[in-house]
Structure 1
Amino acid sequence: MAYQSVQLPWPYPKLDYSRQSIEVPGTKKPGQTGHIRNASQPLLTVNSPGTFRHLQDLFQNGLRMAGPNTRFLGERPVLSTTPLQFGNSFEWQSWGTVDARRKAVGSGLYKMFQDGTIGAGQYPTVGIWSKNCANWQLIDFGCHAFNLVSVSLYDTLGKDAVEYIINHAETTIIFASSQHIPSLLKMSPHTPLVKILVAIDPLSAETKSILTAWGQERGIKIMQFDEIEAIGRANLREPLPTTSDTICTICYTSGTTGNPKGVLLTQGNLANAVHINIYGATFDEQQPLVMSYLPLAHIYERVQELNMVSIGGAIGFGTGDPTRLLEDLQLLKPNFLPSVPRVLNRIVASGMAAGQAGGIKGALFNRALQAKLQRLRTTGDNKHALWDRLVFSKIQAVLGGNLKLVGCGSAPITPSSMDFLRVALACDVLEGYGLTENCGSAARVLPGDPTSSGTIGPPTIGCEWKLVDVPAMGYTSEDKPNPRGEIYTRGGPCFKEYYKDEKNTKEAVDAEGWMKTGDVGELDSCGRFRIIDRVKNIMKLAQGEYVAIERVEALYSASPIVQQLYVHGDSLQSFLIGVIIPDPVQLAAIASRVFSTKVTPEDTGVLVKATQDPAVKKALFDELHKEAAKNALRGFEQIKKIHVSMDPFTVENGCLTPTLKLRRKDAYGKFKNEIEAIYAAEAANQPRL
């Protein structure tokens, strides 16, 4: 099979920050903008010259660039399970080793599908239910090489959703971590197609014996990872010919309501997304190195790691323990870190605490911060030889001290947080935008853009956008000074259909291939987009005023005191209530002032007590009110009452989806009693007729 080589690096031309996107002439129609594309390059497709056509091209390009003896997949070895202890260095598999092992894994699976040992549905699906690890990628690489279809199961999906996906994808073989195999055996009466469970990590002889006996009772064979490789080595063959249209994965999205939807993604979708992402990348003599800690079951992390594969990089897998993340980073010292606001905001809060410490250190920190912010916002330069060495090197060292690029996606981040990260880390910190349906690769800010914070940049070079009027919400493509409307996207990374779901497919994708995102965007004068709202997320208050709840939440959440926020409105009530989970660092500072004693973010008991203190609650409310005033929220859009708690919304308590979106119904259910009590108390204070 002939592979297409891609010449890298593929740098940006000279960037014009005042003209980042262009409207395609002749495409404007009533009720929508014209088609908007990136201004720096023609639209990239899988048929463009010199690009990746499929994932085989991508892997071979990485192997060519790195060479077979260069490190590729690394993990910290487990030294002890009781207590759990990891080694203080990473052990690496080379590119050559991974190439051989992916062929063995793929050959083994292909043989089993061919002889009927596994397989049942329309596609040869292979389930994966595990934390990030080298074997996760080996399975996926093996599937890419033999046109098999991977189906990832989230650790946090929950039993019902896992069962649904296994049955919906008609999966007969699942690779799972040892902790998940008992769960899969328990649910086996409800997943009758499953024939084989493969332990992704080694099993002790005793555990293997117990699971094997249990599996025999359920008619399921238990295998170990090395057994699949052994079958493959005994029946070894070269990777199969493939095309850009070959289905690669069914990536299930975790909706806030209903069953997950199976997004069918092709090898071409992912290959195009990767080339989009590495556009503009430059390489020095150092091999690109990424830390893998965000779930590989989600498209964001999957594409970011494929970026490393395409350029011959290396991937270091963390321990999977959030409490060891900083330790993992300091040992690995990555130069690329895909991340999310949930993690990055903790860095911001910890860093800002230094400026509030007072004394000479606090004054020095604030002086350094203001000097760097002024330079960033006027020139785009986020480096300063003196202040980086004296002040910010300590923050940089926490993340390994070697970062060149930090990616931020999956949720919005405030402009002030983004600016802080850029000056504190002194590297490119680039926010992007995308959905599972477009491989998470629809928009990205340009490096060095001094005023990009708060935007998601222009469309990527593989996607085109348009804004479509939303009259019910007052957004139109003719709005001044900036067009506004629902974002529609199409292009190489965009999916064509949901698996076995014609109804949702037709609702999401129109006849011209445009995908409706459900997000409302605004296009600024520089050709960048800003996400300003969500379609169909409007509620009416008792007095008849309409409120866009998620927009209100997003604006209030810009306050540093907010770790999480749920805003509740009721059509029978006249005002909004906010349930706030405060940031521990900010709450500790407020509690210290109110209680006239030092309170630290680790004083959990004191912080819980503080949430019930009227003076603390008033201080928190006042901070929220400042945010409302800054954003000119109208009276009915403002939170009038708050409930404060240190019990956060999590995936485990059902209030967040696995991609960390708020499940509004469940969030309300969690605090229903407190919310209803606030409404009842307010009603009791009203004069009666």
Structure 2
Amino acid sequence: MKELLRINDTELDLSIFECQTISELFCNNVKRFGSRKCLGYREVFGEEDEKQADGKIFRKLILGDYKWLTYNDVNEKVNNLAKGFYSYGVRPGDTVMIFAETKAEWLISAYAVFKIGAHIATLYATLSQDAIIHGINETEVTHLVTSYDLLPKLESAFKDIPKLTTIFYFDGHKKINTPTLGKCSVVSLSYVENIGKESKEEFHFQQKSKEDTAIIMYTSGSTGVPKGVVLSHNNVLCTIRGFYPVVKNLHNAVNIAYLPLAHVFELAAESYFIAVGVPIGYSSPHTMTNKSTAIKKGNLGDASILKPTVMAAVPLVLDRIRKNICEEVSAKHPFLKELFNFLISYKKFWTKRGFKTPIVNMIVCNKIRSLVGGRIQHIVTGSAPLSPETHDYIRACLDVILIQGYGLTETAAGATLMDFEDFSNGRVGAPLNGVPIRLIDWGEGNYHTTDKPYPRGEIVIGGDCVTSGYYKNDDLTKEAFFEENGKRWFKTGDIGEIYPDGTIKIIDRKKDLVKLQFGEYISLGKVETELKSCSFVDNICVYGDSYHSYIIALIVPNIKALKLLAKQLNKESLTHTEMCRDQEIIKEVAKTLKDHAMNAGLLKNEIPTKIMLVTEDWTPDSGLVTAALKLRRKNIQEKYKMEINKIDIKTYNELKLITEFPEAVEAIKIKWQGETEDKPLLFTWLRIRADKWSFYEFDLKATTVQSLVETKVIIDTIEKINILAKQIKNTKCQFTEEKSNLAKEIKIKAGKDNLEVNADNPLDCSCQYTDLKRNELVTAKKDDKLELLRVKQEEVGKVGVKPVDVEGKIGAQSTSSSSTLESFITVTKLESSCLSFK
């Protein structure tokens, strides 16, 4: 496919960004905006514990008003801190780790390191101890910047990070004593800054080139150990330049910053705001609003004092804001509730068409906007998909321009961003200036650039924003990055769809795609994005695998919504844990979730058939979500594997299949226990795909298979296999005693006598075939009573099977890497002594 590239039709002057390094850009900003506000913070005067109605203890902070540092003030601090760092041994080319929460000191420390000619590495403050140790040891840093509150984490890990010699920490308001960490120096930033200020030595700041490393940014580790992504100065500057033609006209703007600066999305946003003269006021999720957990009753949250006009937000935060608004409205009189919903629907209708609604703004929106200071005008979201429903709702309720962007750490956050004038939803905008994008086919997922009505495929991003790769991981770098025609490209793993106007919609993710038992693919991320906006859902993880024909949902329930439901069911006396276990409550939540899914346009097989309500919240500290609030699927599945295994789901799927056994169907009957009348034979096929196997039963009364019935397979030991069958339409049935006994005696032999069984999950088993890729028959026998044959592709038809796709079309080709028929095994010989016949 050809490259998709934004044509720079703006008259804005981009020459102000033509710098070699981030440090050079900041120096230019100081010259342009010297006396203007740059970074703001609230001083903490004290704290106290407050007991809540549910018995929980919350720490409440006593905060002052915002204090501001001008560009000149920040520059002075940066220069002094750079000289102080140098006196403690930081040299050009060194790596300094920043492991801290989002504060002004974080950014000032980074600029100071850049001044020296060194570079930074970043770790999320919420990472596990193992991840912290991994990042520090892999980068071999000797100097680290952190906060006073995080010193205990380093203290507990200190014996495992032997190369660390110096720790600089932000001063804490409740500082009692500084821990002693062996021979490691532990000093405050204010002390280091003062050393630089008093230094009489002339310091020559190091000038670097644009291709030099600026940041080794560790990911949040959603799929395992955090990876270090190497960003050059040019990578970051490319993203800032790309933002400029899109995020413009920010007159008298103020930004509120609270997302982790260790996340590329927040770092890119703050770097851009500093470059265009927008003041940044620092906040945190615990102090942002008047009702935040760390704000003492009667005191004002950060937003009420700062009154920001622009903010960055991840979709999960916007989902929660939406649910909070819905909860407040639901508690009102039914008439007011209906009036509110009508006005918001009215506003959404006209907003999409580019019209203002001043009367609705006055009646509804202004009050809601006051929650975030009353002046908010622009919200930029990214890092995960935002559901169209939440997009429209927040845009209407807050009367804001809400734009969604798309980027990755590997592209320095640069890729796409919606224009302010774009009132669509579900899309992530067009490519940024200077960032070419193209799609490549992904056959396994059935996405092609030739698809109609719009091309689809894996998104590949090129240009100066693409990083050099992963730190000390050449194999992974070669897998994800490539050079072509003098340009560097990154394969994102995300599936996109390009519209005629050049905007892109993220429709899937390769890592989130699972293949179910009958071959259909399900995008877990897509399902989760749609279901997160359900009133009962605070967070959700959808699970599916190729052993089953359905998906299930693990849900962190919204406590308020759950309590309201319990009250309606006269179960308000239940504890939270009891509510999550109560079958009647679960049934109602599942019904609401299903209705929500259908309204969102999810297909039948994309709707979870069974749900589980979990009792604990998923936080970065629990290891179940990253610092960027992305799901850690493997961790979640491991934690709840026993519960997942207990979920028994009955599902039925229609599939047509031509057979070539009409005479066998007429001749053979099977007698079901407890019944005298004849029943059509349920002919059993055993299908093996790669290392997974399961049983299917087909009703062969006619020449088409009318239903597939899922069969639960339980492995008692390596020697015994017990097959439990269920009749079509959920009528209980059993095999005859003779057949059951035979089934228990089967031992599958192929290549090696090796049947592996997971004791914790009997359904998680595999047959190891040494000759799986060989084009020949594999036979397994037990006393010559049962013969299992793997079918060669040319044998199709001889055994009565033709390949089918998930839509049931005869003769369709498989989309998997191996042929559909390569994995089919059929029962070809059944002796009459094995079964009871009429």
Normalization by structure 2: what TM-score? Answer: 0.71
Does residue 309 in structure 1 map to residue 274 in structure 2?
yes
Q: Contact (CA 8 Å) 1:433, 1:440: kept in 2 or not?
A: yes
Does residue 60 in structure 1 map to residue 30 in structure 2?
no
1:554 to 525, 529, 539: 529
Does residue 102 in structure 1 map to residue 72 in structure 2?
no
Shift of 1:43: 14
Distance 1:536 1:428, change over 3 A: closer
Does residue 222 in structure 1 map to residue 195 in structure 2?
no
SS in 2 for 1:179: helix
**Higher mean C-alpha deviation, range 621-630 or range 462-471:** 621-630
1:232 to 193, 196, 208: 196
Aligned equivalents of 1:584, 1:249: Cα separation in 2 = 40
Counterpart code for 1:34: K
Does residue 521 in structure 1 map to residue 496 in structure 2?
yes
Distance 1:361 1:553, change over 3 A: closer
Counterpart code for 1:35: E
Shift of 1:224: 1.8
Alignment of 1:114-513 (within 5 A): 117-118=89-90, 123-202=93-172, 207-208=177-178, 211=179, 214-215=180-181, 218-233=182-197, 234=199, 235-237=201-203, 239-283=205-249, 286=252, 288-318=253-283, 321=286, 323-324=293-294, 327-356=301-330, 357-377=332-352, 379-381=353-355, 383-450=356-423, 452-512=424-484, 513=488
SS in 2 for 1:413: coil
Aligned equivalents of 1:43, 1:542: Cα separation in 2 = 55
Does residue 661 in structure 1 map to residue 625 in structure 2?
no
Counterpart code for 1:98: V
Aligned equivalents of 1:407, 1:350: Cα separation in 2 = 20
Aligned equivalents of 1:631, 1:385: Cα separation in 2 = 29
Deviations 1:209-264 (A, max 9, x none): xx2xx33xx22112221232233231353533233212111101133334221111
User: Higher relative contact order at CA 8 Å, sep ≥6: structure 1 or structure 2?
Assistant: 1
Deviations 1:265-291 (A, max 9, x none): 1112112211222323444652x3211
Q: Contact (CA 8 Å) 1:107, 1:236: kept in 2 or not?
A: no
Aligned equivalents of 1:44, 1:515: Cα separation in 2 = 29
Aligned equivalents of 1:681, 1:299: Cα separation in 2 = 44
Aligned equivalents of 1:681, 1:481: Cα separation in 2 = 36
Aligned equivalents of 1:61, 1:415: Cα separation in 2 = 40
Q: Identity, % of aligned pairs?
A: 28
Q: Contact (CA 8 Å) 1:246, 1:266: kept in 2 or not?
A: yes
Structure 2 counterpart of 1:7: none
Shift of 1:348: 1.0
Q: Contact (CA 8 Å) 1:76, 1:86: kept in 2 or not?
A: no
Shift of 1:125: 0.9
Shift of 1:680: 8.6
Counterpart code for 1:484: R
Counterpart code for 1:532: I
Q: Contact (CA 8 Å) 1:58, 1:309: kept in 2 or not?
A: no
Aligned equivalents of 1:107, 1:550: Cα separation in 2 = 47
Structure 2 counterpart of 1:36: 4
SS in 2 for 1:36: coil
SS in 2 for 1:411: coil
Q: Contact (CA 8 Å) 1:612, 1:644: kept in 2 or not?
A: yes
Aligned equivalents of 2:533, 2:511: Cα separation in 1 = 23
Counterpart code for 2:143: I
The alignment's C-alpha RMSD in Å is 2.8
Shift of 1:53: 4.0
Q: Contact (CA 8 Å) 1:522, 1:530: kept in 2 or not?
A: yes
Distance 1:345 1:537, change over 3 A: closer
Shift of 1:298: 1.0
Number of positions where the alignment pairs a residue of Structure 1 with one of Structure 2: 633
Does residue 675 in structure 1 map to residue 649 in structure 2?
no
Aligned equivalents of 1:361, 1:499: Cα separation in 2 = 56
Deviations 1:119-159 (A, max 9, x none): 6xx94111122212221111011122222111122111111
Shift of 1:627: 4.1
Q: Contact (CA 8 Å) 1:350, 1:585: kept in 2 or not?
A: no
Aligned equivalents of 1:364, 1:611: Cα separation in 2 = 33
Structure 1 counterpart of 2:608: 639
Aligned equivalents of 2:93, 2:206: Cα separation in 1 = 16
**Higher mean C-alpha deviation, range 320-329 or range 471-480:** 320-329
For structure 1, the residue ranges without an aligned partner over 5 or more in a row are: 1-32
Aligned equivalents of 2:231, 2:494: Cα separation in 1 = 21
Shift of 1:305: 1.0
Q: Contact (CA 8 Å) 1:43, 1:463: kept in 2 or not?
A: no
Aligned equivalents of 1:355, 1:81: Cα separation in 2 = 33
Counterpart code for 1:667: I
SS in 2 for 1:243: coil
Aligned equivalents of 1:246, 1:269: Cα separation in 2 = 10
Kindly name which structure, 1 or 2, has the bigger radius of gyration based on alpha carbons.
2
Distance 1:404 1:635, change over 3 A: closer
Aligned equivalents of 2:255, 2:186: Cα separation in 1 = 33
Distance 1:514 1:88, change over 3 A: same
Structure 2 counterpart of 1:575: 550
- Bigger helix fraction: 1
Aligned equivalents of 1:223, 1:536: Cα separation in 2 = 43
Distance 1:319 1:611, change over 3 A: closer
Aligned equivalents of 2:269, 2:227: Cα separation in 1 = 22
Q: Contact (CA 8 Å) 2:127, 2:621: kept in 1 or not?
A: no
Aligned equivalents of 1:222, 1:442: Cα separation in 2 = 40
- Bigger strand fraction: 2
Structure 2 counterpart of 1:6: none
Aligned equivalents of 1:594, 1:537: Cα separation in 2 = 36
Distance 1:387 1:158, change over 3 A: same
Counterpart code for 1:54: T
Distance 1:289 1:144, change over 3 A: farther
Shift of 1:472: 0.6
Counterpart code for 2:106: W
SS in 1 for 2:311: strand
Aligned equivalents of 2:34, 2:568: Cα separation in 1 = 59
Distance 1:261 1:369, change over 3 A: same
Shift of 1:518: 0.6
Shift of 1:493: 1.8
**Higher mean C-alpha deviation, range 613-622 or range 519-528:** 613-622
Distance 1:232 1:257, change over 3 A: same
Distance 1:498 1:44, change over 3 A: farther
Aligned equivalents of 2:172, 2:346: Cα separation in 1 = 53
**Higher mean C-alpha deviation, range 523-532 or range 177-186:** 177-186
